[in-house]
Amino acid sequence: MAGEHTVTTPDGRMLVVTESGDPSGRPVLMHHGTPSSGLLYGPHEALAREQGIRLLGYDRAGYGRSTRHAGRRVADCVGDVHAIADALGLDRFACWGISGGGPHVLACAALCDERCAAVASLAAVAPYEADELDWYEGMGQENWDEFGAALAGEETLRAFLAPIREHHLRIEPHEVVSIFETLVGPEDRSALTGEFAAWVTASGKRGLDDGMDGWVDDDLAFAEPWGFELASIDRPVLLLHGEDDRFVPVSHGHWLAERIPNVDARIDASDGHLTLLERRMHETHEWLLARL
């Protein structure tokens, strides 16, 4: 089974949800990175069928055809997740999120109702004003510059992102490394080929084709307080991070691991950022399934 759902939130916005995997399996909701979309990756769909997972992805507010939620905080995704669970009849589910999706699954771990059993956070960014963390150390120049634009406000950020969005929309899979020039180390470069490169490209185009509101709102939300405390997380969290991550430096993973209650932190020297999506999803799904 594969398909698409349209979910209406209590405040009248629309969310687009993609579904694949085992239709009778246990539900797992994917929170995509920044910028990207809820388009599911073929090998993840096949893995979900094999593991008995009903795999769901959704375009976060402002991405793809999901309605913008201007001024949203990271914590505001929880209402959207509840709307999806209500609409699709999810009595119990898990979440995983990659990169910019990581803070959003941590919000789910802190604030979702009892239906959310566990979450996995892959290469999540830490809060901007995190104490005892050099937020930029080890970060590639593209992300350093982008976040600096976010701190300057929405007008500056939009002007900064506009030509980059155009590049995303024009890029072909074999050229995708050019979007991430200072962000990809050797392991991530080796991963960005073939089917994976095609999916990264297609997912980015889906998320940005109708505009860049989601990207802008993600960046602005990451620059502000998230709307919850990590100490309030009250359900199982798996944290994965690679030591050669130049999108989100591994120091962010260590910082989060020290502050999330009862976290299962797995930080691997052989991984970068994108490699987690290629190498760690069987492990991630099995961990979540054991708690569903």
CATH (domain of 241): 3.40.50.1820
pLDDT value of residue 26? 98
pLDDT value of residue 2? 65
pLDDT value of residue 12? 98
Going by C-beta distance under 8 Å and a sequence separation of 6 or more, which residues neighbour residue 138? 245, 246, 249, 250, 251
Range of the domain at 207: 3-289
How many domains are contained in the chain?
1
Phi/psi at 36 (5° precision):
-170, -150
pLDDT value of residue 230? 98
Q: How many residues does the chain have?
A: 292
pLDDT value of residue 1? 43
Query: pLDDT tens digits for the chain (292 residues)?
Result: 469 999 999 999 999 999 999 999 999 999 999 999 999 999 999 999 999 999 999 999 999 999 999 999 999 999 999 999 999 999 999 999 999 999 999 999 999 999 999 999 999 999 999 999 999 999 999 999 999 999 999 999 999 999 999 999 999 999 999 999 999 999 999 999 999 999 999 999 999 999 999 999 999 999 999 999 999 999 999 999 999 999 999 999 999 999 999 999 999 999 999 999 999 999 999 999 999 9
Q: How many angstroms from the chain centroid is the CA of residue 233? A: 18
The answer to whether residues 83 and 10 touch, using CB atoms and an 8 Å cutoff, is yes
